[in-house]
């Protein structure tokens, strides 16, 4: 980076990852969201078995997380399309 009188200019290298590593990281994001949603559903199922009914806040949180799991790739695509 270079220091100026009032600014700092950051210069980034093109990429420090190989193509395979970058593709794996891109694929890992949605898979992690799906795994987290599955874990939350298993916790909800366990609560339902243990207590007879799941907590309503947990159900609402799981629904919000599941919706975001679907919308996240679309949001990433939209941001990437705008920023180039």
Query: CB of 33 within 8 A of CB of 74?
Result: no
For 13, which DSSP code? -
Query: CB of 21 within 8 A of CB of 64?
Result: no
Where are the domains positioned within the chain? 16-83
- The per-residue pLDDT string of the chain (84 residues; one tens digit each, 9 = 90 and over) reads 566 567 767 676 767 888 888 889 888 988 898 899 899 889 888 888 898 887 788 888 888 888 988 898 888 889 889 987
Taking only the tens place, the pLDDT of each residue in 9-30 is 767 676 788 888 888 988 898 8
- C-alpha span between 65 and 41 (Å, rounded): 10
Of 51, 28, 32, nearest to 40 (Cα)? 32
Helices (H), the chain: 19-51, 56-83
Q: Taking the model in full, what pTM does it have? A: 0.63
């Amino acid at each position: 980076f270079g220091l100026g009188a009032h600014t700092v200019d950051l210069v980034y290298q093109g990429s420090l990852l190989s193509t395979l590593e970058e593709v794996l990281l891109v694929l890992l994001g949605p898979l992690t969201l799906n795994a987290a949603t599955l874990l939350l559903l298993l916790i909800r199922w366990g609560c339902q078995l243990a207590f007879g009914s799941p907590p309503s806040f947990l159900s609402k949180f799981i629904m919000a997380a599941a919706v975001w799991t679907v919308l996240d790739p679309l949001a990433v695509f939209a941001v990437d399309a705008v920023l180039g």
